[in-house]
Copies of this chain bind each other. A is one copy, B any other.
Amino acid sequence: MSEKRKIAFGIMLQGPGGHMHSWRHPSSPVDASVNFNFYRDTALKAEAAGIAFAFVADGLYINEKSIPHFLNRFEPLTVLSALASVTSRIGLAGTVSTSYSDPFTVARQFASLDLLSGGRAGWNAVTTPLEGTARNYSRAHPEHALRYEIAQEYLDIVKGLWDSWDDDAFVRDRESGRFFDREKLHRLDHKGRFFQVEGPLNIQRSAQGQPVVFQAGSSDAGIGLAGRHADAVFTNSVTLEENKAFLTRVKQAAVAQGRSADEVKIFPGIGPIVGRTQEEAEEKYRIIRDLITIEDALAYLGRFFDHHDFTRYDLDAPFPELGDIGKNSFQSTTDRIKRKAKEKNQTLREAALDVASPRSNFIGTPDTIADELIRWIEAGAADGFILGFPVIAEGLDDFVDLVVPILRERGYFDGELKGATLRENLGLPFRESRYAAPAATEEKARA
């Protein structure tokens, strides 16, 4: 009997991959971001390998400098729903903004995905950093702190709506004509600072109770939101130490809200590149890195700084002084870029290439990568990993063929999905309704 901690994996489905020009890679279909068969085949491969969920990120604003495959991509809820009916076990999570949507609609769409997938839905609640989004939505862009205040209330509402009907509310007795028990119907009657939502929601709870709530912001406000609401948190911290510190802060924030530390799972984002030898891995990395030009790299860098035009600076001079540019968007990312440029005395060229084609710390042989994953898990720096392969076609194949067998052999990974719901496969308990009687809850826990 193994006492080893199991590693849960998710995989980002983002067209050809995480690298800005992954569409140019020989293993990618050039139209990967709008090729449903590619999404389906990738999801099925991940499911067969025991990866717990597929995750589709999103953005609501583009301009011609955006990452090429972001210009033309599926919307998360529709593509996840299309995947739901051709997969059977893998979780299906997607990003929807709390700043540019209605809680009643979003609660319904995720509840519907959750129900039709048999309890496999997840919602990554983001507050949307990109200011340009406001210009597509007839409104002003809320600043950072306000966005998180809106998100807190928004999540209260959505979770409240999800509990509109008790699990045994629908009697459906053909003989008597009794369809539901009105004692088991709950109207939310939310009246808050930003929203007034009466309810009830017109859809029942799912096999996992409620969709899994993901969160990704790593600012103080983001951690506050995660502590109160998130079942799982993505992070782009780079080192084991940074991740461990982040994990500790999020779990403390959860405990401060009266939750258990186990109720929130931390998923660092990693982009493994695997070779049979270290040289082969390095060669694969170089091929990917060289898909990009310096012009692309500057545009990519600009994306984090409100599409700031970096072509006006000397490429080989020190990284420029930017003041408050980008402060209201990807704040933790821009802070990190500026800090690193200063610490390492980077030129603009070096910083741009570093950001656009970052060197992952998961480039290596199957054994070194498996060792590193296990080291993070054993150190308590992560509960699992979200795999954002720079090039998904090549990356997933290599990972499944080369790394997964080692993790299975060492007892850290099952290599198959044993649960029917996403919560089960993440080691999260069934989400009880807020209206469930404590006795009923205890009974279920014993069962």
Chain A positions near chain B (C-beta within 8 angstroms): 21, 23-24, 30-31, 34, 36, 40, 59-60, 62, 64, 66, 68-75, 77-86, 100-102, 104-105, 108-109, 111-113, 115-116, 132, 135-138, 165, 170, 172, 174, 177, 179-180, 182, 185, 194-200, 202-204, 291, 293, 296
In the complex the two chains form, is A108's CB within 8 Å of B75's CB? yes
- By beta carbon, the residue of chain B nearest A96 is B105
With a cutoff of 8 Å between Cβ atoms, the chain B residues found around residue A182 in the complex are 64
Q: Name the distance in Å between A305's Cβ and chain B's nearest Cβ.
A: 20
**Bound form: Cα–Cα A196–B199 in Å:** 29
Contacting A203 at CB < 8 Å: which of B73, B112, B136, B293?
A: B73
9 examples of A-B residue contacts, CB within 8 angstroms: A23-B172, A24-B174, A24-B177, A34-B203, A71-B180, A78-B116, A83-B85, A104-B136, A132-B198
Contact present for B85 and A203 (CB under 8 Å)? no
Shortest CB-to-CB span from A264 to chain B, Å, is: 26
Question: How distant is A155 from chain B, measured CB to nearest CB, in Å?
Answer: 15
- Do A75 and B203 touch (CB < 8 A)? yes
Q: Which residue of B lies closest to A188 (CB)?
A: B136
A83 cross-chain contacts in B, Cβ below 8 A: 85
What's the minimum C-beta distance from A307 to chain B, rounded to whole angstroms?
13
Instruction: Beyond the given A78-B116, A82-B85, A86-B86, please list 6 additional residue pairs across the A-B interface where CB-CB is below 8 A.
Output: A34-B115, A34-B204, A36-B115, A40-B85, A138-B195, A138-B196
Residues of chain B within 8 A (CB-CB) of A293 are 177
Q: A84-B82, A138-B197, A185-B64 are in contact. Are A112 and B72 (CB under 8 A)?
A: no
Minimum C-beta distance from A70 to chain B (A)? 7
Contact of A36 among B85, B196, B291 (CB under 8 A): B85
Count copies of this chain in the complex.
Answer: 2
Is the CB–CB distance between A78 and B112 below 8 Å? Answer: yes
Residue pair A202, B72 in contact (C-beta under 8 Å): yes
Query: Is the beta-carbon distance between A78 and B75 smaller than 8 angstroms?
Result: no
Q: Decide: B85 and A116 in contact? CB cutoff 8 A.
A: no
Closest to A185 in B: B64
The 4 residue pairs across chains A and B that have the minimum distance between CB atoms: A81-B81, A68-B179, A75-B112, A135-B198
A262 to B138 CA separation, bound complex (whole angstroms): 35
Q: Complex formed: what's the CA distance from A24 to B185 in Å?
A: 21
Q: Are A68 and B180 in contact (CB under 8 A)?
A: yes
Contacting pair A31 B170 (CB below 8 A): yes
